């Protein structure tokens, strides 16, 4: 009988396979797509931000409500360990000016190729176009290959690493949810994370400025604020600075039906400094020309300022408006466009080794579990750390099973 069946060929599943195969366990990885790690490869198009070099306590704080759950795993497999693992595959890393860590190749494909070569060398088998459909009465996983009915796939342990619900075209379609719920496992509703938000723009904004970037801005919602960039879209607002506040915006919308997002168009200046510039004589200049000359406000920035109506004339009030352009976010973008998802298997459904308490011998890791994190290396770091912990949990479980058999 196979030692370990891993269902899902994303970072958590493939890392666990790497560890377990290296330790001498027989491992098969199945993937229902035609090739492995599609979402991982998609992330690599932007440079593959693996992790972050900041202080570990600051790093762990970015996991919000999941901090207590994830901290032991990330302390056990911290950013430095992830970098060392990459180096062991012949893929050097570097730290950017923002503290983010990337492979020197700045893409995922060389790392994935080296990873798959090592898996093959250690005897692990990868089966693509194989789909998990549930569990048989005896607890064995049911697997269906193309054109065939589901069949039991005997294995001493199973790791579910099927992903969340974002980018379903890349494989994370959450089709596993009813299977686990039927076994009494609590699964929180999936919601988009690290996503844009819908705003009811005027016709001018959608027709003239869709696709226009907003650079060096500040965003604020509630007690949260961030400096960065965003992009105006026909549907609303997206981009890195928006993603950083997406969890808070989404939860406010869930509670209240909408959320106010404030844009600071000139975060480098105080209200008083802007007011002083705006108090200069305007002469015969139009308001647009004056704002362009006095503050270098671009057309898209002026259009944002006017979305709520004509801007005030008094310098102090106008300066305050420039520092806090109010936008009403009506809903997050659909989960199919989100970078990641929130929701999944309730964290108390797994033990310290990530085994499902209600399904002995079945483990779960990665975005299947109910946690979320901002972009910046936090998502991948947590997935790798959970893959590491799941491998340890499976190894301990299998070794204990051998001991029981000997007795």
CA distance 404 to 407: 5
- Tell me: do 18 and 37 sit in the same domain: yes
Q: In the listed set 314, 332, 350, which residue is the last one of a domain according to the structure?
A: 332
Q: What's the CATH code of the domain at 122?
A: 3.50.50.60
pLDDT tens per residue across span 26-43? 999 999 999 999 999 998
pLDDT tens per residue across span 320-348? 999 999 999 999 999 999 999 999 999 99
Q: How confident is the model at residue 46 (pLDDT cuts 50, 70, 90)?
A: confident
Q: How confident is the model at residue 203 (pLDDT cuts 50, 70, 90)?
A: very high
- Tell me: do 71 and 182 sit in the same domain: yes
- Tell me: do 244 and 177 sit in the same domain: no
Token pair of 126, please? Answer: 């990868």
- Tell me: do 84 and 179 sit in the same domain: yes
Q: What is the mean pLDDT of the chain?
A: 95
pLDDT of residue 406: 38
- Tell me: do 351 and 219 sit in the same domain: no
- Tell me: do 321 and 368 sit in the same domain: no
Q: What is the DSSP string of 181-233?
A: HTTT--EEEEEEES--EEE---HHHHHHHTT-EEEEEEEEETTEEEEEEEEE-
Range of the domain at 147: 2-193+341-406
- Tell me: do 37 and 55 sit in the same domain: yes
Q: In the listed set 282, 305, 332, which residue is the last one of a domain according to the structure?
A: 332
CA 213 to chain centre: 22
pLDDT tens per residue across span 57-105? 999 999 999 999 999 999 999 999 999 999 999 999 999 999 999 999 9
- Tell me: do 84 and 204 sit in the same domain: no
Give the total number of structural domains in the chain.
Answer: 2
Q: In the listed set 310, 332, 354, which residue is the last one of a domain according to the structure?
A: 332
pLDDT tens per residue across span 102-127? 999 999 999 999 999 999 999 999 99
- Tell me: do 15 and 98 sit in the same domain: yes
- Tell me: do 365 and 288 sit in the same domain: no
Q: 208-212, 228-232, 248-252, 312-316 — which is least confidently predicted?
A: 312-316
- Tell me: do 179 and 101 sit in the same domain: yes
| Section 344-366 average pLDDT | 98
Q: How confident is the model at residue 407 (pLDDT cuts 50, 70, 90)?
A: very low
- Tell me: do 34 and 181 sit in the same domain: yes
Q: Is the pLDDT of residue 52 over 90?
A: yes
Tell me how many degrees the CA angle 342-331-205 measures, rounded to the nearest 5. Answer: 130
Q: How confident is the model at residue 172 (pLDDT cuts 50, 70, 90)?
A: very high
């Amino acid at each position: 009988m196979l030692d370990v069946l891993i269902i899902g060929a994303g970072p958590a599943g493939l890392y666990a396979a790497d560890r377990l195969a290296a330790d001498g366990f027989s491992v098969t990885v199945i993937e229902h797509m035609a090739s492995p790690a599609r979402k991982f490869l998609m992330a690599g198009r932007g440079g593959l931000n693996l992790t972050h070099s900041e202080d570990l306590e600051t790093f762990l704080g970015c996991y919000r409500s999941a901090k207590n759950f994830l901290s032991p795993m990330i302390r056990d497999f911290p950013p430095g360990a992830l970098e060392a693992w990459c180096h062991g595959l012949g893929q050097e890393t570097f730290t950017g000016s923002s503290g983010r860590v990337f492979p020197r190749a700045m893409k995922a494909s060389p790392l994935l190729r080296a990873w798959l070569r090592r898996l093959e060398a250690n005897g692990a088998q990868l089966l693509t176009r194989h789909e998990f459909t549930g569990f048989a009465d005896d607890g064995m996983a049911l697997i269906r290959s193309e054109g065939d009915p589901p069949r039991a796939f005997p294995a001493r342990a199973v790791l579910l690493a099927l992903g969340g619900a974002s980018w379903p075209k890349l494989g994370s379609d959450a089709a596993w949810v009813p299977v686990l719920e039927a076994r009494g496992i609590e699964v929180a509703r999936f919601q988009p994370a690290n996503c844009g938000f819908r705003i009811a723009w005027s016709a001018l904004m959608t027709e003239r400025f869709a696709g226009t970037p907003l650079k060096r801005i500040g965003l604020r919602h509630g007690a949260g604020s961030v400096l960065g960039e965003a992009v105006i879209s026909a549907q609303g607002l997206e981009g890195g600075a928006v993603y950083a506040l997406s969890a808070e915006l989404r939860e406010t919308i869930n509670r209240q039906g909408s959320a106010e997002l404030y844009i600071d168009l000139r975060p480098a200046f105080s209200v008083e400094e802007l007011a002083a510039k705006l108090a200069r004589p305007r002469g015969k200049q139009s308001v647009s020309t004056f704002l362009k000359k006095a503050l270098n406000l671009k057309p898209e920035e002026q259009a944002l300022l006017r979305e709520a109506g004509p801007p005030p004339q008094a310098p102090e009030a106008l300066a305050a408006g420039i520092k806090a352009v109010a936008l009403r976010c009506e809903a997050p973008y659909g989960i199919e466009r989100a970078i990641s998802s929130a929701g999944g298997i309730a964290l108390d459904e797994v033990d310290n080794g990530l085994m499902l308490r209600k399904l002995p011998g079945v483990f779960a890791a990665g975005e299947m579990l109910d946690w979320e994190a901002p972009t910046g290396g936090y998502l991948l770091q947590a997935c790798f750390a959970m893959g590491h912990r799941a491998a340890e949990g499976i190894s301990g479980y299998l070794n204990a099973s051998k001991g029981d058999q000997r007795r």
